[in-house]
Chain A
Amino acid sequence: MIAYIIRRIAYAVPILIGVNLITFLLFFVVNSPDDMARVHLGMKRVTPEAIVKWKQDRGYDKPLAFNSSATGAAKLTDTIFFDKSVRLFVFEFGRSDQGRDIGYDISTRMWPSLAIALPVFLLGLVSYITFALLMAFFRATYVDFWGVILCVAMMSISSLFYIIGGQFLVGKLFNLVPISGYDVGAEALKFLVLPVVVGVVGGIGSSTRWYRTIFLEEINRDYVRTARSKGVSEMRVLFRHVLQNAMIPVLTGVVVVIPLLFMGSLITEAFFAIPGLGSYTIDAINSQDFAVVRAMVFLGSVLYIVGLILTDISYTLVDPRVRFE
Chain B
Amino acid sequence: MVAFLKRVIVLASVFAAGCSPAPWNNPYPARDDGTNTLYSSFTERPRHLDPVQSYAMNEFALIANIYQPPLQYHYLKRPYQLIPFAATAVPQPEFFDVQGRRLPQNARAQDIAYSDYVIRIRPGIRYQPHPALATDNQGRFVYHGLKRRDLAGIHAIGDFKERGTRELVAADYVHQIKRLAHPRLHSPIMQLMSEYIVGLKELAEQLAGENKELPRDGFLDLTKFDIAGVQVTDRYTYRVRVRGKYPQFLYWLAMPFFAPVPPEADRFYAQPGLAQKNITLDWFPIGTGPYMLTVNNPNRQMVLERNPNYEGELYPSEGEPGDAEEGLLRDAGKPLPFVDKVVYSLEKEQIPYWNKFLQGYYDTSGISSDTFDEAVQFSGQGDVTLSDEMRKRGIRLQTSVGTTVFYLGFNMLDPVVGGYSERARKLRIAISIAVDQEEFISIFRNGRGVPAHGPIPPGIFGYREGKDGINPYVYDWKDGSPRRKSIEAAQRLLAQAGYPNGRNAKTGEPLLLNLDAAGAGPDSKARFDWYVKQLDKIGVQLVVRATDWNRFQDKVRKGNTQLYYLGWGADYPDPENFLFLLHGKQSKVKTAGENASNYVNREFDSLFEQMKNMDNGPRRQAIIDRMVAVACRDAPWVWSFFPKNFSLQHAWVFNSKPNQMANNSLKYQRIDPAMREKLRREWNQPVLWPVAALFLLLALSILPAVFMFRRRERATARLDVLPEKA
Contact = CB atoms under 8 A, between A and B. Distances in A.
Contacts of A100: 278, 283
Interface string A203-242: 0000000000000000000000000000001100000000
> Chain A's interface: helix, strand, loop or mixed, by majority?
helix
Nearest to B705: A143
Contact of A44 (B25, B183, B188, B358): B188
A42 B282 CA distance: 15
A244 interface: no
B324 interface: no
Interface in A82-115: 95, 98-101, 104-105, 108-109, 112
Contact of B27 (A54, A108, A167, A181): A181
A270 to B, nearest CB: 5
Interface string B171-185: 000000000000110
B345 A167 contact: no
Interface stretch (A134-142, A254-262, A300-308): A134-142
Nearest to A190: B24
B19 interface: no
Interface in B35-92: 44-45, 47, 55-56
Given A47-B592, A175-B684, A181-B345, A234 B709 contact: yes
A183 interface: yes
B352 A273 contact: yes
Contacts of B356: 178-180
Interface in B334-358: 345-349, 351-352, 355-356, 358
B56 A175 contact: no
B695 interface: no
B278 A35 contact: no
| Contact size range, A | 35 or more
Nearest to A109: B299
A168 B297 CA distance: 27
A173 to B, nearest CB: 7
A243 B198 CA distance: 80
Interface stretch (B110-118, B137-145, B457-465, B685-693): B685-693
B277 A101 contact: yes
B21 to A, nearest CB: 11
Contact of B348 (A35, A177, A273): A273
B690 A174 contact: yes
A275 B359 contact: no
A20 interface: no
A43 to B, nearest CB: 8
Contacts of A138: 705, 708
Interface string A120-159: 0000000000000010011001010000000000000000
A108 B297 CA distance: 10
A178 B26 contact: yes
A253 interface: no
A175 B188 contact: no
Interface string A37-59: 01111111111111001100100
A42 B55 contact: yes
Of B186, B345, B705, chain A has the most CB atoms within 10 Å of the CB of B186
Contacts of A74: none
A98 B276 contact: no
Contacts of A47: 191, 592
Contact of A270 (B47, B183, B280, B349): B349
Contact of B708 (A101, A112, A141, A187): A141
A279 interface: yes
A179 B299 contact: no
B199 interface: no
A322 interface: no
A164 interface: yes
A48 B155 CA distance: 36
> Chain B's interface: helix, strand, loop or mixed, by majority?
loop
A47 B688 CA distance: 59
A62 B254 CA distance: 39
A45 B594 contact: yes
A186 to B, nearest CB: 10
Interface string B152-190: 000100000000000000000000000000011010111
A178 B27 contact: yes
B300 interface: yes
B29 A187 contact: yes
A171 B27 CA distance: 11
B553 interface: yes
B713 interface: yes
A174 B299 contact: no
Contact of A54 (B23, B186, B705): B186
B685 to A, nearest CB: 6
Of A191, A234, A275, chain B has the most CB atoms within 10 Å of the CB of A275
B192 interface: yes
A234 B554 CA distance: 69
Given A99-B280, A178-B27, A50 B686 contact: no
B44 A104 contact: no
A42 B346 contact: no
B55 A179 contact: no
B197 to A, nearest CB: 15
Contacts of B349: 180, 270-271, 273
B25 A50 contact: no
Contacts of A318: none
A268 B29 CA distance: 22
B444 interface: no
Contact of A99 (B29, B275, B277): B275
Interface string B202-245: 00000000000000000000000000000000000000000000
A68 interface: no
B277 A53 contact: no
A265 to B, nearest CB: 13
Interface in B238-277: 275-277
Given A99-B282, A101-B276, A178-B26, A234 B712 contact: yes
Interface in B443-490: none
Interface string A183-211: 10001001100000000000000000000
A167 B709 contact: no
B105 to A, nearest CB: 30
B99 interface: no
Of A49, A138, A168, A176, chain B has the most CB atoms within 10 Å of the CB of A176
B378 interface: no
B182 to A, nearest CB: 11
A289 B47 CA distance: 11
B369 interface: no
B47 A98 contact: yes
Contacts of A168: 355
B347 A273 contact: yes
A162 interface: no
Nearest to A234: B713
Contacts of B592: 47-48
Interface string B346-379: 1111011001101101000000000000000000
B550 interface: yes
Contact of B276 (A104, A143, A187, A234): A104
A172 B355 contact: yes
Contacts of B23: 175
Contact of A31 (B351, B361, B550, B713): B550
Given A181-B27, A271-B352, A35 B550 contact: yes
B186 A50 contact: yes
Interface string B285-310: 00000000000010110000000000
Of A134, A167, A183, A273, chain B has the most CB atoms within 10 Å of the CB of A273
12 contacts: A39-B549, A50-B186, A57-B184, A143-B708, A174-B686, A175-B686, A179-B352, A180-B352, A180-B356, A234-B712, A272-B352, A287-B44
Rank and list the top 4 A-B pairs by shortest CB-CB distance, nearest first. A275-B299, A178-B27, A35-B550, A181-B27
Given A183-B29, A271-B352, 20 more contacts: A39-B549, A46-B188, A49-B191, A50-B186, A54-B186, A57-B186, A137-B709, A164-B351, A167-B352, A168-B355, A171-B355, A174-B690, A175-B359, A176-B686, A176-B691, A179-B356, A180-B356, A182-B300, A234-B712, A275-B297
